[in-house]
Amino acid sequence: MEELLLSDEFVKDGSVDLHGHSVIRSHTGTWKASLLIIGVEIGERFAYAGILSNLVTYLTTVLNESTASAASSVNIWSGVAFMLPFLGAFVADSYLGVTVLTYIQDNVGWGLGFGIPAFTMAMALVVFLCGTRFYRNKLPSGSSLTRVIHVFVAAFFKRNDPIPFREPNQLASIQEVKVLRTESRRQLLQTNKFRFLDKATIEDELDFECRTTRNWRLCTVQQVEEVKLLLGMLPIWMACLMYGIVVAQSFTFFTKQGSTMDRKIGRHFVIPSASMQCFNSISVMLFVPVYDRLFVPIAKRLSGKERGITLLQRIGIGMFFSAISMIVAAGIETKRLKAAKDNGLIDMPYATIPISIFWLLPEYVLFGMADVFVVVGMQEYFYDQMPDTMKSLGIALYLSVLGVGSFLSSILILVIEKVTCRKQEQCWFADNLNKAHLDYFYWLLAALSLLNLGMFMTLASCYKYKKVAPSGTENST
């Protein structure tokens, strides 16, 4: 009885502490660990947003980089940050970092403005380390990349064998189902796409003679179907990259535009142009309840689908809003350039153009509306459609859309600068924004976004969602 009580003290889901020992249920996990992680994430997002939101201003005004070079650098920095999987802490990202820190940077000093995020990140690291004994760690169960490589290697070994015939939606063997249950995985129904990979499941005499733990010449049907799922998602991932390119502009050129406009509220208070980014998050906060409580119920009644619309339809609607945001941005930039010309400010890059910065509000709001559809849609899609053994890879794919999109934006800016800036009067990214043509750049992004949307809709119409066998099914092949 005493041994049973002692065993009940330990967590039985395979969790261990930092040293690999079993963890005591009452001393680890729960809110003690959760609050520490949440605190660390708030600090991380505060530091990240505080630097990113106004970095383009620092690079152009303090380090004297050109507009194009600064925008490219910010995109690269942002891309690196997005490529590291993290969880967002909404309040710190949206308000404190974007508003308070940008005001300090613009009105007090860059040393303090960047010093506060650095100190915050250091304190977050200390908090994280102090909570080490409260965390429950899961031992790695194998690499997703290794599983993918295994299937391709096995298919290569059997490349000269005929493709085995399989009925679509066929179930795995009873023996394989038992393995899946042991590993707490759902059984994927067999499909007829990427049929060449089915060769990896063919057994021959060499497979029977194999004595190694992992036979690289042979895979299970489940492993092959997992790789098929991943391959089917890659075209969707590529079609989402254009959204990442568009999003990158809100941290760079939008901020530079705002710095030339009238930023006064009342007689004395001047808002930092980077603080306009908070309206993106405010619109997300306002539109999420509208989406959940109004849009989804109406769409559900019309379509009969549980979510109202499919995951890819949700992403597609968000891409449409992002394209519209670029059209609106181009129109507002045309208006700003006209105001500069009408007031004789073309050759005065540091003069305030008599047009309110709140003219930028519509494009930020449209970005927020796009986020409600695209960002949440991508999170659900890449997590839901991934095989059970590759869920973390799904999260990485979602984040990489924004990261790779930022890198592509940097490349696009550098290419356009090289092509257009041979003559100063034709340069799209002239340091004097009153002589630049950001409106052309926005029109280009709008056109590319619409073309990409057409491609995405075509891919979405052909996409086959993941199918799993009903629980308890053990039909034999």
- Round to whole Å and give the CA distance between 126 and 325: 41
Q: Which of 209, 233, 238 is nearest to 462 (CA)?
A: 233
- The larger pLDDT score, comparing residue 57 to residue 87, is at 57
The one-letter code for the residue type at 331 is: G
Q: Which of 333, 339, 315 is nearest to 463 (CA)?
A: 315
Task: With cut-offs at 50, 70 and 90, classify the pLDDT of residue 86.
Answer: very low
Strand 261-262 versus strand 353-356 pairing type: parallel
- Rounded (10°) CA dihedral 32, 35, 40, 45: 170
Task: With cut-offs at 50, 70 and 90, classify the pLDDT of residue 471.
Answer: low
- Round to whole Å and give the CA distance between 347 and 352: 12
What would the two tokens of residue 436 be?
């630049």
Task: With cut-offs at 50, 70 and 90, classify the pLDDT of residue 83.
Answer: low
Given a cut of 90, whether residue 424 has pLDDT beyond it is no
Report the mean per-residue pLDDT for the chain.
81
Count of CB atoms situated within 10 Å of the CB of 207: 14
- Round to whole Å and give the CA distance between 102 and 194: 51
Helices 361-384 & 391-420 angle (0-180, nearest 10): 140
- Round to whole Å and give the CA distance between 23 and 116: 36
Residue whose structure tokens are 């790779």: 404
Q: Which of 120, 112, 109 is nearest to 44 (CA)?
A: 120
DSSP bridge pairs for 262: 356
Average pLDDT over residues 24-37: 75
Most confidently predicted of 47-51, 144-148, 236-240, 267-271: 236-240
* CB contact set of 299 (below 8 Å; sequence gap of 6+): 305, 308, 309
* CB contact set of 316 (below 8 Å; sequence gap of 6+): 453, 456, 457, 460
Count of CB atoms situated within 10 Å of the CB of 333: 25
Q: Which of 105, 82, 72 is nearest to 416 (CA)?
A: 72
322, exposed or middle or buried, with CB in 10 Å at 0-12, 13-18, 19+? buried
Q: Are 275 and 102 in contact, with CB atoms under 8 Å apart?
A: yes
Average pLDDT over residues 2-10: 52
The one-letter code for the residue type at 137 is: N
* CB contact set of 425 (below 8 Å; sequence gap of 6+): 435
DSSP 45-83: HHHHHHHHTTHHHHHHHTS---HHHHHHHHHHHHHHHHH
Task: With cut-offs at 50, 70 and 90, classify the pLDDT of residue 70.
Answer: confident
Given a cut of 90, whether residue 245 has pLDDT beyond it is yes
Q: What is the pLDDT of residue 233?
A: 92
144-180 residue pLDDT tens = 788 888 999 988 988 888 887 766 655 444 445 444 5
Count of CB atoms situated within 10 Å of the CB of 244: 26
Half-sphere exposure of 469 (CA within 13 A, CB side): 26
5, exposed or middle or buried, with CB in 10 Å at 0-12, 13-18, 19+? exposed
Helices 391-420 & 221-247 angle (0-180, nearest 10): 40
Helices 311-342 & 221-247 angle (0-180, nearest 10): 20
Q: What is the pLDDT of residue 349?
A: 85
Q: Are 58 and 105 in contact, with CB atoms under 8 Å apart?
A: yes
What would the two tokens of residue 262 be?
């009238």
DSSP bridge pairs for 16: 22, 137
The one-letter code for the residue type at 440 is: Y
176-224 residue pLDDT tens = 544 455 455 677 778 888 888 888 888 877 776 665 556 788 888 888 8
| CA-based end-to-end distance of the chain | 46
Name the 3-class secondary structure at 84. coil
H or E element at residue 269: strand 269-270
Q: What would you report as the CA-atom Rg of the chain, rounded to the nearest whole angstrom? A: 27
